[in-house]
Amino acid sequence: MKALLLLFLCVSASWAQDDLQYDDYDLDAKASNATSPGTSLDARAHRPTTGRETYSSSRNPPPPISGGSRYRGRPTPAPVGGRREQEKVEQPEAGGCTHASEAMGVLCPTGCELKTMMVKQERNVKMAINQLKPDVQELSSSTNNVYNYVHSMSNSLRERQRVFTGNSRVMGQYTDQVEEQHAYIKETVDTIFPSNLRVLQGVLDKIRLKIQKLEKAIQSQKDQCKDPCITTCPIPVVSGKECEDIYRRGGRDSQMYIIQPDSFSPPYKVFCDQTTNNGGWALVQNRLDGSVDFGRRWDEYRRGFGNIAFSSEKGFCETPGEYWLGNDRISHLTKMGPTEVLIEMQDWTGAKVHAQYRQFTIQSETSNYMLAVDGYSGNAGNCFLEGALELFGVNRTMTIHNGMMFSTHDRDNDNWNPGDPSKQCSREDGGGWWYNRCHSANPNGRYYMGGSYTSQMSKHGTDDGMVWMNWKGSWYSLKAISMKIRPYIASR
């Protein structure tokens, strides 16, 4: 019984919690019902012009009362016609004295007339008896009914007495159990609950101390992260205007260098690839492990972010990190003269492809860093100039990146309903890029481990991974991708 009582208390508490959760769920359900149907995004690399939008919602009555009547039958009415005189009967013998009552006849001195009187009275008595017989029978029947009713009432009373005795016994047992349970509950409330509360209070105090320690650690980390991460590396002796200049001055190792394109701009760090295709490449974008978030604001893309390089066993920064060099610097380098770009990518099986453009220029911020490319070669697919080859007509045209302005989630410059803050490619596709409506290539998208992903995994139901559609399609996120630029030399 103790276990049953504890179970009852737990179920009651659970019901109380269910009531609260129901209120919360009801509010959530109302909120979800308020969302209009058919608002899910088309999870593709572009936003098609067809569909919802164009390019420029009884009771039963009780039975009748039954049983015997409270009245007997009515008496028979007297015959009509008045009283008839009784015919005087001639006595067989006369001459005697007359009786005081004429009905008694003539009193014969010999007493013979007494017999005649008695016979006459007998007839009268029989008639009275015959009239009383129905009443006697009815009274006898009523007496039997009363007897049977009293007998049934006696049986019912005896049964009720038996049931009452049983109920009294059960009530006594139940009272004993209730008293026992009351004693157990009182003991539990007086001893066990306070003990458990003390234990829980101790656990709560320990958790509160841990939370305070975590808050201190988080605050300490925040204080340390106020300044950007700086990689400590020895500065190479060789420097120059760009990586091609450093290569010509003898800097043949691929590592981090200091470059200064002109005397009007301050020097800055960049990773130079001096081994791929005769070297001279300045790494302007690099994704390899997802350690750096590329969902940044316009100013961050303008200045640049991430880690240029890491030190190695040789003491030099020979391992490139994940970073974006900065739109101002990329624009400056590409406007110094003809520039080519090499985009290298790798899937999760280790396969590698590349796309190279002989002409690559990024305009200044006044034109929102507009992209201009030409002269494709490679085996990855020409996304910048041709768009997604799996699409046709205007749907392919709206995935071409050439001629597009740079967009971030806080500055919308794409071709998907310009000026509409709810329709921004950068906000839905995870990073800053030269979006059209929206992309066939998305190197700055979200980093997904393993390659293949689905619309249910993405934040907005769109292909927001590191995508190069003409190689792996919309729903495959690459393991690594990089962009390198250098001065274009036709005889190279």
Q: What is the pLDDT of residue 173?
A: 86
Residue 131: what pLDDT? 84
Q: For residue 411, give the DSSP letter.
A: B
What CA–CA distance (Å, rounded) separates 455 from 477? 12
Cβ atoms within 10 A of the Cβ of 55, count?
A: 13
Neighbours of 382 (CB within 10 A): 19
Mean pLDDT (whole number) for 15-33: 36
| Residue of higher predicted confidence among 63 and 413 | 413
Three-state SS string over 173-186 comes to HHHHHHHHHHHHHH
58, HSE (Cβ side, Cα atoms, 13 Å)? 2
- DSSP strand E in 384-446: where? 441-442
Placement of tokens 């590396």 in the chain: 233
Instruction: Say how many Å lie between the first and final Cα of the chain, rounded.
Output: 93
Contact 2, 181 (CB under 8 A): yes
Task: Collect all residues with Cβ–Cβ distance below 8 Å to 408 and sequence separation of at least 6.
Answer: 296, 297, 298, 301, 426, 432
**Shortest CA distance to 479 belongs to which of 318, 298, 353, 309?**
353
Decide: 439 and 401 in contact? Cβ < 8 Å. Answer: yes
What pLDDT does 179 receive?
Answer: 87
Output the pLDDT for position 243: 95
Instruction: Please give the average per-residue pLDDT across 86-94, as a whole number.
Output: 51
For residue 256, what are the β-bridge partners?
A: 271
What is the average per-residue pLDDT within 320-346? 96
* 36-42: average pLDDT: 38
CATH of 243-487, picked from 3.40.50.2300, 3.90.215.10, 1.20.1420.30, 3.90.1150.170, is: 3.90.215.10
Identify whether the C-beta of residue 401 lies closer than 8 Å to the C-beta of residue 384: yes
Lowest mean pLDDT segment, chosen from 54-68, 110-124, 465-479: 54-68
Report d(CA 240, CA 261) in Å as an integer.
8
Q: What is the pLDDT of residue 25?
A: 30
Pairing of strands 371-378, 309-310: unpaired
Instruction: Note the maximum CA span of the chain.
Output: 192
Which residue type, as a one-letter code, is found at position 21? Q
Nearest 5°: the CA angle 283, 303, 337 is: 55
The contacts of residue 431 (CB under 8 Å, 6+ apart) are 294, 295, 296, 442, 443, 444, 445, 446
Q: How far apart are CA 124 and CA 327, in angstroms?
A: 144
What's residue 198's pLDDT? 86
**How confident is the model at residue 195, as a pLDDT?**
84
3-state secondary structure of 480: strand
The model's pLDDT over 177-231, given as tens digits with 9 standing for 90+, comes to 888 888 888 888 888 888 888 888 889 999 999 999 998 888 888 777 776 555 5
Alpha carbons 485 and 334: distance in angstroms, whole number: 8
Q: Which residue has the higher pLDDT, 221 or 390?
A: 390
Which ranges constitute the DSSP H helices of 262-403? 298-303, 327-334, 383-386, 394-397
Q: Tell me what pLDDT residue 73 has.
A: 47
Is 403 strand, coil or helix?
A: coil
- Compute the average pLDDT of residues 164-188: 85
pTM: 0.57
Q: What percent of the chain has pLDDT over 70?
A: 74
129 is written with which tokens? 């008896």
Q: 83-96 burial string, b = 16+ CB within 10 Å, else e? A: eeeeeeeeeeeeee
CA pair distance 337, 346, nearest whole angstrom: 29
Give the Cα separation of 70 and 75 in Å (integer). 16
> 400 in helix, strand or coil?
coil
Alpha-carbon span 260 to 281, nearest angstrom: 15
Query: Nearest 5°: phi and psi at 290?
Result: 75, 15
Q: Are 444 and 433 in contact (CB under 8 A)?
A: yes
- Mean pLDDT across 93-118: 57
Report the range of poorest mean pLDDT among 111-125, 139-153, 234-248, 323-337: 111-125
The pLDDT of 406-429, averaged and rounded, is 88
What pLDDT, on a 0 to 100 scale, did the predictor assign at position 93?
Answer: 47
- Can you give the residue ranges of every domain in the chain? 113-224, 243-487
Instruction: Tell me the C-alpha distance between 425 and 421, whole Å.
Output: 10
229 Cα distance to chain centroid: 40
In terms of Cα–Cα distance, which of 109, 107, 88, 91 is closest to 99? Answer: 107
